Chain A
């Protein structure tokens, strides 16, 4: 196993590499990415921030509105509701995805051919677009024409997308089904990086499977868990396509996440000002959570392989 992880080239041991790597070329190579980021992320962000202080119906001229939009959005119970729904989606999808992804990742990490074959199958949902997935599940879950009535199974014939709690459950299920393969892959890579020596030492000490998993694998995966969680949590802030096609935020407003609320205000009611306020809130919440999760990881330079 140790051959799988070639010793990382430490910059300090190679002064030439350091000089070549730290200066001119790096900046130069980052330029294209930086330009794209400026054009498609920072500029629109500034635009949206500016729009949040205006009144605009998307058709006519733009009028300044001061903090009126902010006041009206914050005094609107719809915002709190959407925030809560977004938080629910975030929390539940994290709670479901993380343990399953870790277990699948550990399972796939061992070098057995049948596991590699299974891994290919796990990967399939990731190749499908969210809209296609939503259309398919909507058809399967239809209480009148779907899978349940087709198989004459009363257990499967539920009002899946018409009951608030069930609809939320279905969304969490589909999100997990779609993204667990991706996160398993991350964990699989991380597990393969754990030095075999640790496991050998544990085995000598008489540690069982469970003990090894809890005391070696999990702690060694700490940074991977943080990375994967950041992707999950920040990603769940932006779920739109799946929910839009599947429930359109319904029934009522029970699955209306922030992104849907933004769309409804902006493109449904032609109120770009309040929609921009929600967009800014989304950005702030996303940044705050991503930073918070980084903090959780503590000092990123701290080594997990001390003494090896």
Chain B
């Protein structure tokens, strides 16, 4: 019996090991990464906290800015915590409600910011902007709209301006002998051409839902102009039943029915960049996605970007539509607010970082080098100094699209308050699943107006 017992004990020991290992593995997947921002400072020692998003190359620049600030201000260090995009939206809201939020709250402005303002969770920064006029002076004026609630400023625009872009794979277009679409009609003509070759026409991370929403944002604008969603935003009764809205919703479903997206798009998630991988591995010909994906496609796509295979353009017009083809949608900037619950010491440190280090010349240059246009006016001058032959035209494109857009509309789910954004995403999921009609979509959404 002796050896038998021994082996059983070994087995138990293995099991004992296995549990913590699997827990640790799971922890890697779900929990945020706390970085000491520079390594030497270590986590949890700072006087203020900053929560922002993970994902390369952006997180390196975010970490670097905080690390440089901490190095210059060893007595008022700031701890940065990184979260994955989709998880962050809920996490930060819950933490703020529970009084556990960070000093510096990273966000998208708009409706989410408004809900913090209404709950008195973020500081009114209007006076601070008056004391520091250069903060406002150096940024694009268009970025301040989403930072303003009831005429007061509650957030500082930071980081980059990211319009939504129609990307295309030049290799695949050559292979099929097709030209990039100049109209919605062209898009619908390209769909069967690519499908016949076993290539998905468009890549879409449909499970994330806000990805599907970008299609509707463009279709609404191109078909009916900016007022169609503008009326929804203003809370006009029945705004979703606008004929232009119904046509846009119908067009989106026509594209789904024509197999316009890759097989299984409903279960593809944007956080894992699988949608970008489809484009750069040659499984999908086109993708409508934010300008922020350029950097990760360049990093992960092998020679896809560096070999000059990435094409990009603004979303084409819809035949007979009322919209202006120069208009764009996306994120006019990212935003950072200061918690109204933070200690004065933390607020001082936070304000100091925002005025001294955030978007200073070093950070601006890093953003430009990573293929992004930061929200400062000086960015335009830096483009000519970029040596990378692929980054240069890309940066010029993003700069021109953003600065020359007749309208730069904010992403819907960020512009609307959460009580409307959640049912919106929910109904978008059903619309792309073809389980509701455009009319049902409009009826469901009309009910949420005014909530």
In the bound complex, do residue B262 and residue A252 qualify as a contact, i.e. CB atoms below 8 Å apart? no
Choice from B18, B22, B116 contacting A59 with Cβ under 8 Å: B116
Closest 6 CB pairs of A and B: A161-B267, A59-B119, A60-B119, A143-B264, A252-B433, A162-B266
In the bound complex, do residue A59 and residue B25 qualify as a contact, i.e. CB atoms below 8 Å apart? no
Q: Contact string, B252-281, partner A, CB cutoff 8 A, digits 1/0?
A: 000000000011111111000010011000
Choice from B269, B274, B430 contacting A252 with Cβ under 8 Å: B430
In the bound complex, do residue B419 and residue A271 qualify as a contact, i.e. CB atoms below 8 Å apart? yes
Choice from B25, B116, B264 contacting A160 with Cβ under 8 Å: B264
Chain B residues proximal to chain A, CB less than 8 Å = 11, 15, 18-19, 22-23, 25-26, 29-30, 90, 93-94, 96-97, 115-116, 118-121, 206-207, 262-269, 274, 277-278, 283, 417-419, 421-423, 425-426, 429-430, 432-433, 435
Decide yes or no whether A202 CB sits under 8 A from chain B: no
Choice from B90, B206, B262 contacting A267 with Cβ under 8 Å: B90
- 10 further A-B contacts with Cβ under 8 Å, apart from A252-B435, A253-B435, A269-B422, are A59-B121, A144-B283, A161-B264, A164-B433, A167-B267, A250-B266, A250-B433, A251-B207, A252-B429, A268-B422
CA distance A132 to B274 in the complex (A): 18
* B25: chain A residues within 8 A (beta carbon): 129, 132
Decide yes or no whether A57 CB sits under 8 A from chain B: yes
Decide yes or no whether A270 CB sits under 8 A from chain B: yes
In the bound complex, do residue B115 and residue A270 qualify as a contact, i.e. CB atoms below 8 Å apart? yes
Please name the residue on chain A nearest to B203 by beta carbon: A144
Min distance, Cβ B90 to any Cβ of chain A, angstroms: 5
* B121: chain A residues within 8 A (beta carbon): 59
The verdict on A132 contacting B93 (CB below 8 Å), with A60-B118, A159-B263 known, is no
In the bound complex, do residue B426 and residue A253 qualify as a contact, i.e. CB atoms below 8 Å apart? yes
The verdict on A251 contacting B22 (CB below 8 Å), with A142-B274, A143-B264 known, is no
CA distance A104 to B23 in the complex (A): 27
The verdict on A264 contacting B264 (CB below 8 Å), with A58-B94, A129-B23, A132-B26 known, is no
Decide yes or no whether A145 CB sits under 8 A from chain B: yes
In the bound complex, do residue B19 and residue A131 qualify as a contact, i.e. CB atoms below 8 Å apart? no
CA distance A269 to B94 in the complex (A): 12
* B120: chain A residues within 8 A (beta carbon): 60
In the bound complex, do residue A159 and residue B96 qualify as a contact, i.e. CB atoms below 8 Å apart? no
Q: Contact string, A252-288, partner B, CB cutoff 8 A, digits 1/0?
A: 1110000000001101111100000000000000000
Decide yes or no whether A31 CB sits under 8 A from chain B: no
CA distance A253 to B430 in the complex (A): 7
Among B120, B207, B430, find the residue whose CB has the most chain A CB atoms closer than 10 A. B207
* A58: chain B residues within 8 A (beta carbon): 93-94, 97
Choice from B96, B262, B425 contacting A144 with Cβ under 8 Å: B262
Please name the residue on chain A nearest to B23 by beta carbon: A129
CA distance A122 to B398 in the complex (A): 55
In the bound complex, do residue A143 and residue B93 qualify as a contact, i.e. CB atoms below 8 Å apart? no
* Interchain Cβ contacts within 8 Å, total number: 127
Can you identify 5 A-B contacts, CB atoms within 8 angstroms?
Answer: A129-B26, A159-B264, A162-B266, A248-B207, A270-B419
In the bound complex, do residue A160 and residue B22 qualify as a contact, i.e. CB atoms below 8 Å apart? no
Min distance, Cβ B84 to any Cβ of chain A, angstroms: 12
CA distance A121 to B206 in the complex (A): 36
In the bound complex, do residue B266 and residue A143 qualify as a contact, i.e. CB atoms below 8 Å apart? no
Min distance, Cβ B332 to any Cβ of chain A, angstroms: 23
Decide yes or no whether A192 CB sits under 8 A from chain B: no
* A167: chain B residues within 8 A (beta carbon): 267
Min distance, Cβ A170 to any Cβ of chain B, angstroms: 10
Please name the residue on chain B nearest to A56 by beta carbon: B97
Min distance, Cβ A134 to any Cβ of chain B, angstroms: 9
Chain A interface size, under 10 / 10 to 19 / 20 to 34 / 35 or more: 35 or more
* A61: chain B residues within 8 A (beta carbon): 119
Min distance, Cβ A38 to any Cβ of chain B, angstroms: 22
The verdict on A131 contacting B93 (CB below 8 Å), with A144-B278, A250-B207, A251-B429 known, is no
CA distance A264 to B429 in the complex (A): 14
In the bound complex, do residue B26 and residue A269 qualify as a contact, i.e. CB atoms below 8 Å apart? no
CA distance A145 to B29 in the complex (A): 19
Decide yes or no whether A128 CB sits under 8 A from chain B: yes
The verdict on A160 contacting B418 (CB below 8 Å), with A58-B93, A129-B26 known, is no
In the bound complex, do residue B418 and residue A144 qualify as a contact, i.e. CB atoms below 8 Å apart? no
* A157: chain B residues within 8 A (beta carbon): 263
In the bound complex, do residue A250 and residue B435 qualify as a contact, i.e. CB atoms below 8 Å apart? no
CA distance A128 to B422 in the complex (A): 32
CA distance A263 to B94 in the complex (A): 12
* A161: chain B residues within 8 A (beta carbon): 207, 264, 266-267
The verdict on A120 contacting B11 (CB below 8 Å), with A131-B26, A159-B267, A162-B267 known, is yes
In the bound complex, do residue B29 and residue A135 qualify as a contact, i.e. CB atoms below 8 Å apart? yes
Min distance, Cβ A195 to any Cβ of chain B, angstroms: 25
Min distance, Cβ A254 to any Cβ of chain B, angstroms: 8
Decide yes or no whether A247 CB sits under 8 A from chain B: yes
Please name the residue on chain B nearest to A78 by beta carbon: B426
The verdict on A160 contacting B29 (CB below 8 Å), with A57-B119, A144-B274, A144-B278 known, is no
CA distance A61 to B97 in the complex (A): 10
Min distance, Cβ A129 to any Cβ of chain B, angstroms: 4
In the bound complex, do residue A268 and residue B430 qualify as a contact, i.e. CB atoms below 8 Å apart? no
In the bound complex, do residue B96 and residue A59 qualify as a contact, i.e. CB atoms below 8 Å apart? yes
Min distance, Cβ A182 to any Cβ of chain B, angstroms: 14
* B425: chain A residues within 8 A (beta carbon): 268
Q: Contact string, A58-76, partner B, CB cutoff 8 A, digits 1/0?
A: 1111000000000000000
In the bound complex, do residue A127 and residue B22 qualify as a contact, i.e. CB atoms below 8 Å apart? yes
In the bound complex, do residue A127 and residue B19 qualify as a contact, i.e. CB atoms below 8 Å apart? yes
The verdict on A268 contacting B90 (CB below 8 Å), with A127-B19, A131-B30, A251-B433 known, is yes
Q: Contact string, A167-210, partner B, CB cutoff 8 A, digits 1/0?
A: 10000000000000000000000000000000000000000000
In the bound complex, do residue B419 and residue A269 qualify as a contact, i.e. CB atoms below 8 Å apart? yes
In the bound complex, do residue B207 and residue A144 qualify as a contact, i.e. CB atoms below 8 Å apart? no
Please name the residue on chain B nearest to A263 by beta carbon: B90
Decide yes or no whether A138 CB sits under 8 A from chain B: yes
The verdict on A142 contacting B429 (CB below 8 Å), with A127-B22, A129-B25 known, is no
Choice from B93, B116, B264, B418 contacting A162 with Cβ under 8 Å: B264
Min distance, Cβ B61 to any Cβ of chain A, angstroms: 27
In the bound complex, do residue A269 and residue B418 qualify as a contact, i.e. CB atoms below 8 Å apart? yes
Q: Contact string, A225-261, partner B, CB cutoff 8 A, digits 1/0?
A: 0000000000000000000000110111110000000
Choice from A57, A132, A253, A268 contacting B429 with Cβ under 8 Å: A253
* B277: chain A residues within 8 A (beta carbon): 145
* B118: chain A residues within 8 A (beta carbon): 59-60
